[in-house]
Amino acid sequence: MTGSTYDVLTRIRANRQAPEPGERCEMCSEPICDDHQHVVNVEGRQLMCVCRGCYLLFTDTHAQLRYRAVPDRYLAFPDFALDRRKWEALQIPVGLAFFFRNSTLGRMVAFYPGPAGATESELDMVAWNDIRAADPRVDMLVDDTEALLVRVPDDDTEPPDCHLLPIDACYEFVGRLRMLWRGFDGGQDVRTYMDDFFGAVGDRSKVVLDDRRASSEADRA
């Protein structure tokens, strides 16, 4: 964090009023609404609830900052280059996971949902790099703050659901699944919530095509 950023936070703290009931910014203690924004503590791998003013301090993706603002970008990657064989090579035990690049570790990490919440999976980097080579859209992810959420259907003839979305949305999604989870496979409530969630994300997402695949199809036409 730069010295000027510290100065701004110091002034905010000095000028704040007495705290009001309800949730408050974790940086300056200003009251915040339910629909607040988040920043990521990169080193601690923690999400922080913040006010709009503090959020804007950390939106520069090129600056070397300890905190990074979570963007509000939703993208859909239709015809994502991932089949059941490539998914099994990732060694993820369920058909749903989200992936993001941890800049502190310098590598991609994967989490999948379950009754205990978000469980980290030891990601096979050779298998992941094969997916990157097959579909370069994964490189659109912003480090630490955006994730690739992928759901692989049981039917091999159907394409996977793949979306780029804010990391806080992924953790909220997995947290909700944990609350609903019943039995070994989660139960009907989990399956219904997953369908509703992916439907809402799909409605919100901007479609991004694989340029290489689109060019190849155009050439064949």
Q: Which residues contact 208 (CB under 8 A, 6 or more apart)?
A: 75, 76, 77, 137, 140, 164
Does residue 3 surpass a pLDDT of 80? no
Residue boundaries of the structural domains of the chain = 3-69, 75-220
pLDDT in tens, 38-89: 999 998 889 999 999 999 999 987 778 899 999 999 999 999 999 888 999 9
pLDDT in tens, 166-207: 999 999 999 999 999 988 778 899 999 999 999 999 999 999
Query: What contacts 24+ positions apart, CB below 8 Å, involve 23-29?
Result: 23/49, 25/49, 25/50, 25/51, 25/54, 26/50, 27/51, 27/54, 28/53, 28/54
pLDDT of residue 159: 86
pLDDT of residue 143: 94
